[in-house]
Amino acid sequence: MRVLLVGGGGREHALALGLADDPSVEALIAAPGNPGIAALAEVRDVDANDPSAVAALAVEVAADLVVIGPEAPLVAGVADAVRAKGIAAFGPSAEAARLEGSKTFAKEIMTAAGVPTARAHTCTDAESTARALDEFGAPYVVKNDGLAAGKGVVVTEDRDAALAHAQECGRVVVEEYLAGPEVSLFVVTDGEAALPLLPAQDFKRVGDGDSGPNTGGMGAYAPLPWAPPGLVDEVMRDVVHPTLAEMRRRGTPFAGLLYVGLALTAGGPRVIEFNARFGDPETQVVLALLETPLAGLLHAAATGTLAAHPPLRWRDGAAVTVVVAADGYPASPRTGDVITGADRAGIIHAGTRRAADGALLSAGGRVLCGTATGPDLAAARDAAYALVRDVELAGSHHRTDIAAAAVEGRIAVPD
Ligand code: AMP
């Protein structure tokens, strides 16, 4: 099949690796792609957020399947525009992508579906925000209601900082703090049938020991040696299937990738958030372990035939990815610096571009990540850090504790 991959970050480079590896893929085209993806696919220029431009490109390249990576094109209706041309699209409709596009909508669906999540209030002014903060108490959790590239959430003990973030955002969701280790579970679905991928954990805070501000994600690993047995079955039963059923009941079935972000609290798993697409950087580790051909799986979800898809197969061992971020990330990343040591297997490009002379330059906050597998988590971790050590980028920084607590058996689910 001919596959058009939309997007140009680390997640899309990981998707490109999986798609290029699938023997059923005869041509892989990526738009806009990045220098890492360019080694695997024909790269085309497109405004990924313009539904008619992406649909026209899908027709032009005779795509049999369009895989849409990032959230913004989904919320803009790119999947709808592609499907309107009679081409299969992996990714939810704009209506269904509201599960990610609006935190208030996601809460509404969870309430209607009886999905366990944090209690929350949507607030639009200082007075109602202050009331909600005082109702739930510290630590305070304030979320921008719209898309914010993973950076619209403030979790703080500082009530004034919580109020200031709310004022900056305008419309926010204030919610109770959920204590417990976090899990990212990706579920491939055609709206009815649903296949969970391996649970992973990512690292949202910029600094070691979960210090500093939230980011798009600084690293990830899978699988989770500390996850309770039965976790995935429980989440499928209590979260995923009720959510999919509620979306069908509303006439806006969710087909694509449902990302369930969970906290494993003393009261059981609680949903922190839904996303409408693969998470970045968890995709890098989850797909590194997936043995089942990726294009066939995504095509089945895009064409409503997932119930007939064979069970997923996974490689033994573990995978770890470590993000290298630009100087100043996340507040104000510096771009345009030369990167060396990145042309190696396992380096996944996120925010890079090629200069006219062929030099690799930084072009975003999260620049690249070192992704490695190994027979166990400790070995995968060592291999990922070995990759990162050889990358040179002035002023760059990375966390040194990705997967460390899991390797050392220091993660416990509260009971
Ligand atoms: P979100 O964009 O909703 O995933 O939030 C980003 C990060 O903020 C999450 O990965 C959590 O680490 C943290 N967070 C969000 N909501 C909560 C909550 N209710 N309780 C504790 N931490 C939260």
Question: What is the model's pLDDT at position 146?
Answer: 76
Q: Candidates 272, 275, 282: which one to mutate for ligand 1, based on the most atoms within 8 Å of Cβ?
A: 272
Torsion of CA 56, 58, 64, 65, to 10 degrees: -120
User: First CA to last CA across the chain, in angstroms?
Assistant: 48
Q: Which residue's CA lies nearest to atom 2 of ligand 1? A: 150
Ligand 1 binding pocket includes 150 (Cβ within 6 Å): yes
pLDDT at 151: 57
Q: Whose CA is nearest to atom 12 of ligand 1?
A: 204
Residues 6+ apart with CB under 8 A from 173: 103, 104, 107, 120, 121, 122, 123, 142, 143, 145
Residue nearest to atom 13 of ligand 1 (CA): 155
- Counting from 1 in the atom list of ligand 1, the atom nearest the Cα of 205 is 12
96 lines ligand 1 (CB under 6 A): no
273 C-beta closer than 6 A to ligand 1: yes
Atom of ligand 1 nearest to the CA of 152: 2
Listed in order, strand segments (DSSP E) in 79-223 are: 88-90, 120-123, 140-144, 153-156, 172-175, 182-189, 194-196, 201-202, 205-207, 211-214, 219-222
Other Cβ atoms closer than 10 A to 77: 20
Residues (pLDDT < 70) of the chain are 148-151
Q: Is 61 exposed, middle or buried (0-12, 13-18, 19+ CB in 10 A)?
A: middle
DSSP of 326-357, one letter per residue? -TTTTTS-----EEES--STTEEESSEEE-TT
Model pLDDT, residue 234? 98
Measured from the Cα of 178, ligand 1's closest atom is 20
With a 6 Å cutoff on the Cβ, whether 364 touches ligand 1 is: no
Check pocket membership of 177 for ligand 1, CB cut-off 6 A: yes
Of the residues 155, 210, 214, 260, which should be mutated to test ligand 1's pocket, given the most ligand atoms within 8 Å of the CB? 155
Gap from CA of 343 to ligand 1 centroid (Å): 34
What pLDDT does 152 receive?
84
- Cβ of 202 closer than 6 Å to ligand 1, yes or no, is no
141 lines ligand 1 (CB under 6 A): yes
Q: From 245, 259, 147, 261, select the one nearest 203 (Cα to Cα).
A: 261
Q: Measured in angstroms, how far is the CA atom of residue 341 from the centroid of ligand 1? A: 34
Predicted TM-score (pTM) of this structure: 0.96
CB 199, CB 239: distance < 8 Å: no
Burial of 230 (0-12, 13-18, 19+ CB in 10 A): exposed
Ligand 1 atom nearest residue 270's Cα: 19
The pLDDT score that the predictor gives to residue 148 is: 67
Predicted pLDDT of residue 145 = 86
Ligand 1 atom with minimal separation from the 103 CA: 3
